[in-house]
Structure 1
């Protein structure tokens, strides 16, 4: 099979090398997927190293083979999956590996390209909202107003956070966005107090507008899908001191206002035996691994039922060979309110190589 390895040159440019690799074999609780589409994430450009690696983690395609302990999937099933980060056999290839509990079925009505926008970002949003912030879940929805601020609402994680919060009847949702505002307005319900704030007007305007949108309500929770110093600072000026909590996608930053910062590690869903597990599990004996297994099935049911969907996306020209250009565009800030998706079959010469 063909597999793309991405690295950085001495000039800090992205380099893609297509290699011939054997089709991987699954462990007992893994599946091998024939990849149709793979989604790109910000971490793919932020953490690319000089050592070449295949870190495509949002996979969609067909089950090729399953491990001996796998019961929920069989060859030919249409699936999406979250590949274990920083491990071999990622989705920048014709075949990739994922654990069965981070794999979920997708209906015929969901394209592989749409499905490839879901796993990592949607799970990050779910963990941040329902595990780290411990908000009411979609099956035990909020019964009273629960103000939630989502910073970076047009990002993939932010957009999924809005969708999931709405399913849990969490309102008002006050979100901060920029050029992607038109894409998230359909997700909001102004009749329940939902509103969007334009960050392009400056930090002080954001703080003032957030307070105004809350209409006197006290805000204690936020999900920051940007997690840079200024976004955390702005939130710290709006959330209630001492009791305010922010779920972050990057490590915490020092700010002058006293708020609790919780970093959401989406990779924790792969195993309860990892460095991301908290010392005290918040769901009794169950941790992020079981949480992830449940919510991936929840996404599958939502796609089947039509009450959950993926994120807007654009296809990368040139298949795997287009990875370097796509990653460069992401680093340059040219991606807003959509996710890049690679179609493996668009890779030049692939059919010839397969033949």
Structure 2
């Protein structure tokens, strides 16, 4: 019987269980997962909510079956997809489910490994830049190639993360710039994405001074009109607060400042600043049309080469490798890389750090079964 991996809240073990092939809902696609991608939220959500479940959301593979109202996909199609966070049948499995509007075709030339790095991170970046910050998308005012615009500076904190990197790539296609990135270890990769890169390790004052100097050199105002904080913790919120234009600036964060600022009770943007907490799961609820349009557009950008996936590293062992990937993410070992798992490599399930169990009426993967008082229990974590 096909298997799936249930992530234990301790992030010290996973439970690999037998699971029947899912039956798709009317607007759902069942995908035979070739490669599953991992995201920071995949370890955070089980840990912070004390909920053992299959937390994977990124996948690439072949369509197995489709729901009654699905008309764009057929069995055998090569696709990538963003699974609906918090639902059953996540992507750490041999078969997973995604809504048809966040599933998209991928070209033959694109590997499943690279494709699996795209859905969650790229859609998160698109939601932040275009749905929330209302920046001009690449297809407005262009001829299908990079658009040329007047200077529209954009600061991306965490530009070498998957979300930050996709934000930079999309911003470049939109003709925005100069793009200023804040990064750490992955300087070479960050430099390939931005016009200017500043190392956060020089401290908050050093970062602010360096960026103000860059803006002066570019002949721009000393404050940023647009900031995308792809980290939103460990001091990034405080740094970007000092850099945003207090008179009309727009800030998008991937985590809520009221929970992740150092001084949560007193953290506040100036009255003239628009602060938005961008959450990609809205493409499965209030922003379904946006999710549909951008999923299709991502497929087009990947097909014609204007967009590439994120650098990746394969964790060996298939589903049993998911545990290693999540532990490495939790320990902060990832730098400019996404960890992916080839599901067909699932083997050696009796290794000492893997629990093997049997399905019990699907209870291990029911969203309603978990209980937690953590403030982020119901927060839709982005990548």
Does the aligned pair in 1 maintain the 2:133–2:252 contact within 8 Å? yes
Matched, 1:197 2:198: yes
Separation (CA, whole Å) in 1 of partners of 2:302 and 2:309: 9
Deviates more, 1:12-21 or 1:98-107: 12-21
Please state how far the C-alpha of 1:347 moved relative to its aligned partner.
1.0
Deviations 1:24-64 (A, max 9, x none): 01001100000000110000111114432011100100000
Matched, 1:268 2:282: yes
Q: Does the C-alpha gap of structure 1 residues 135 and 5 become closer, same or farther in structure 2, counting only changes over 3 Å?
A: same
Residue 334 of structure 1: aligned partner: 333
Residue 37 of structure 2: aligned partner: 39
Residue 79 of structure 2: aligned partner: 79
TM-score by length of 1: 0.89
Residue 355 of structure 2: aligned partner: none
Does the aligned pair in 1 maintain the 2:27–2:68 contact within 8 Å? yes
| Aligned pairs (5 A) from 1:134-149 | 134-140=134-140, 141=147, 143-149=149-155
**Contiguous gaps of at least 5 residues in structure 1:** 189-193, 273-287, 351-355
Deviates more, 1:85-94 or 1:237-246: 237-246
Task: Identify the structure with bigger relative contact order (alpha carbons < 8 Å, sequence gap 6+).
Answer: 2
Please state how far the C-alpha of 1:13 moved relative to its aligned partner.
4.2
Separation (CA, whole Å) in 2 of partners of 1:257 and 1:28: 43
Separation (CA, whole Å) in 1 of partners of 2:268 and 2:71: 51
Does the aligned pair in 2 maintain the 1:28–1:69 contact within 8 Å? yes
SS in 2 for 1:241: coil
Separation (CA, whole Å) in 2 of partners of 1:223 and 1:33: 32
Matched, 1:97 2:97: yes
Separation (CA, whole Å) in 1 of partners of 2:253 and 2:124: 10
Deviations 1:224-258 (A, max 9, x none): 00011521111111111142221111012453652
**Contiguous gaps of at least 5 residues in structure 2:** 141-146, 259-265, 350-383
Please state how far the C-alpha of 1:199 moved relative to its aligned partner.
0.8
Residue 19 of structure 1: aligned partner: 17
Please state how far the C-alpha of 1:142 moved relative to its aligned partner.
6.1
Deviations 1:149-207 (A, max 9, x none): 0000000000000000000000110110011121122233xxxxx21111111111101
Matched, 1:217 2:217: no
Does the aligned pair in 1 maintain the 2:8–2:14 contact within 8 Å? yes
Deviates more, 1:200-209 or 1:212-221: 212-221
SS in 2 for 1:223: strand
Q: Does the C-alpha gap of structure 1 residues 213 and 346 become closer, same or farther in structure 2, counting only changes over 3 Å?
A: same
Separation (CA, whole Å) in 2 of partners of 1:143 and 1:245: 19
Separation (CA, whole Å) in 2 of partners of 1:34 and 1:71: 18
Does the aligned pair in 1 maintain the 2:257–2:267 contact within 8 Å? no
Matched, 1:321 2:324: no
Separation (CA, whole Å) in 2 of partners of 1:51 and 1:136: 39
Q: Does the C-alpha gap of structure 1 residues 309 and 289 become closer, same or farther in structure 2, counting only changes over 3 Å?
A: same
SS in 1 for 2:64: strand
Deviates more, 1:234-243 or 1:173-182: 234-243
Deviations 1:7-38 (A, max 9, x none): 12xxx442111111110010011000000001
Separation (CA, whole Å) in 2 of partners of 1:257 and 1:70: 44
Separation (CA, whole Å) in 2 of partners of 1:82 and 1:212: 40
Separation (CA, whole Å) in 2 of partners of 1:135 and 1:109: 31
Does the aligned pair in 1 maintain the 2:32–2:62 contact within 8 Å? yes
Residue 176 of structure 1: aligned partner: 182
Separation (CA, whole Å) in 2 of partners of 1:14 and 1:22: 26
Separation (CA, whole Å) in 1 of partners of 2:177 and 2:31: 38
SS in 2 for 1:157: helix
Matched, 1:234 2:232: no
TM-score by length of 2: 0.83
How many equivalent pairs are there? 327
Please state how far the C-alpha of 1:217 moved relative to its aligned partner.
1.4
Does the aligned pair in 2 maintain the 1:237–1:257 contact within 8 Å? no
Separation (CA, whole Å) in 2 of partners of 1:217 and 1:339: 35
Does the aligned pair in 2 maintain the 1:136–1:142 contact within 8 Å? no
Residue 3 of structure 2: aligned partner: 2
